[in-house]
Structure 1
Amino acid sequence: MTQLTDLPVIVVGAGPVGMTAAARLAKDGLPVVVVEAEPVPKTDWRASTFHAATLELLQDIGVTEQMKAEGLVAPIYQFRDRRDGLVAEFDFRLLAAETPYPYRLQLNQQHLVRMLHDQLRADDRVELLFGSRVTGVANTAAGVTADVQTPDGPRVLHGSHLIGADGPGSTVRGSLGIEFAGYTYPERFMIVSTTVDLGERIPGLAHVNYIADPAQWLFLLRTPESWRAVYPVPPDEPVEAASTPERLQEQLQAVAPYPADYPIVDFQAYNVHQRVAASFRAGNIVIAGDAAHINSPLGGIGLNSGIHDVMDAAARIVRIRAGEADPDAELSAYDAVRRQVAMEYVQADTQRNTERLKETDETRRRASQEEMRAIAADPARARAYMRRVSLLESVRRFGIGLPPGHPMEVPV
């Protein structure tokens, strides 16, 4: 008879969150099956910031130093106004006594996926099913099942637990009937990447810049491959029109004039939501990352909090599989803790960041500027602010994967 501990953990989704989950579970000796609809590892450029708390966690699966070697260390970021210039500058090196990573690491997310894919495909405990689509999941008396359409035909996977890291349109969440309440911003966001050094076009520009403007805010950041500009596309402008070469050039020239056309290496427009699932757990199935909560990208929190989700879930599943914990209490704690973090930090901070940049009321705009200047000028307030935006505060407050009832943990 098959025992629960003989079964693999099923991970649905092979983006950075799903691959992190698989790597963390395999490191603890658990068998894992990863199911991914795409035929090859994902190459999405969208997320590119890794915060200090996340780099600390990724040490556990042995990729942080490789990420640092390939990435761009960005200790300073700026709040700017499109009309008035620099408003406030923050230096993460104020956190040097609290973390070995007092900076944002800029590295496009597909590089983490590549690193983890290389690691996992060499591990005999891990089965990678690319080009395969989950069509339904269920809890059973023996654990969980996942119905999968593979290139070789349908297959039913049996596992002890399942982690759904399959993005905003999550089949796992939908199969479980979990509500995904929230709202969608009326405008789309456009990301445009260019090899032109915007730091040479705009004097004093940092590697990471939030630029407020009531007509069109901007987010400018540098990655190892390129500079990226993020800006809103008005609701009445069709994506097709916003994506023409002429329109992309017009937008970049408005950021900083450039005598020749900007070379564009990547662009994409996407809808932006603020949503949180009604529950992050059903039986032995949990959801994580964008499957559980989606938010504005301003602040670089979505990818990071998703990695925190699966690090938390994996620690609990490892204890359950070892017979060291009460299964229901552990997974209920995951639901309570990670959902509270999503509401109090991920949703609150990303919404605040977005609203600050797009504020149209001049009095509130000026008040926001003065607030940011005051925070940046006071080392104690600046340190507290950066602890929060780097997610160090949430990790220190709630921990990651702490046993139920631990004093740092939210009561369940």
Structure 2
Amino acid sequence: MSDHRLLEGITVVEISSSVAAPFAARIFADLGADVIKIEAPGGGDSARKWGPPFWRDDATPFHAFNRGKRSITVDLKDPAQIAMLSDFIAERADIVLQNLRAGLVERYGLDAQTLRARAPGLIYANIGAFGEKGPMRMQPGYEALMQAISGLISLTGEADRDPVRIGAPIADMGTGMWTVIGCLAALHERQRSGEGRVVGTSLYDTSLGWTAMAMAQYQATGKVPSRTGLKGISVVPNGGFHTADGLLVITVGTDVQFRSLCGAVGRAELADDPRFVTNADRRANETALLAILGDIFPTRTRAEWCEILGAAGVAAIPVQNLAEAAESEQTAASEMLQDCPGDELKLIGLPLRFDGERPKPRWPAPKQGEPIHQLKSDAAE
């Protein structure tokens, strides 16, 4: 096994589009699995058209979630092609990932029950909007809708303004991650029993999952948490401050760190002010403390404050835009922004390492694929 391809020898069939299932499949691909993406004739995955911007004729979101795969074209309205796909899955696949509209895989005979009757060791992942139960189980879902209905949007933004959507598809990508976790657990179980499993994930469940801390607060108090913008909810100070050239985020987790902060900003006496001695005191008098600090930080730049506060042991980080994050020394050192063989488009890699090395992509996102007959040739090898 080379390049830490821990899932080499595992075959994954992805019958999906958009983000959640393709992201799960891309994780498998980066970990060394052979991922075969099934696409409809013509346009293929809808994400191919989610532009501009485009890169090599496909929208950039498609590249982000589909590198390292093979693409095969299957007309799911053609029984003969469905039969060929079903045969390939039964004979060769370890995992199937699907996120088609509710009811479609059953109509095509590509559902878990049908396929696992032929291949009991198959691991089959249903990735849906609202999951298998409940009054909304048949409804479609998209990222913004899931953030809205789960309460995530209600937690994000400033208290005196409308709530805002989180700036990343965390419902979709999180669901992809949970799908991979479930499938890996099922693979481990299959080694013991020889039996596969049906893994179920949904965007709604994932979105609710991200509310764990806020939901615990609500369940304990009966009070709906308010939006706090850049401010945290547990320790003070913990949030954003305007400097001479942009925003700086500071988190003070202990009373000792607060004393260090006071010394670093030239206001050592604040540490002994009865209003601010303990975190409980600071939370009770947060408005007064933030007003004092808010007058201090604009006197220097973000870089100057980071150096001063860092030397004092206080956690401080500038709010960076994507260009700054992409060009930072830490991003370069992390190797998270990766080159892909055969392509000049740098993409974010998997946020994990094996033996100190990050998995590397093997090839770019595929063009619209070969016809289904290619799978039949593969199965005959």
Q: TM-score range by the shorter chain?
A: 0.3 to 0.5
Output the TM-score relative to the length of structure 1: 0.31
Output the TM-score relative to the length of structure 2: 0.33
Larger Rg over CA atoms: 2
**Going by fraction, where is strand more abundant, 1 or 2?**
1
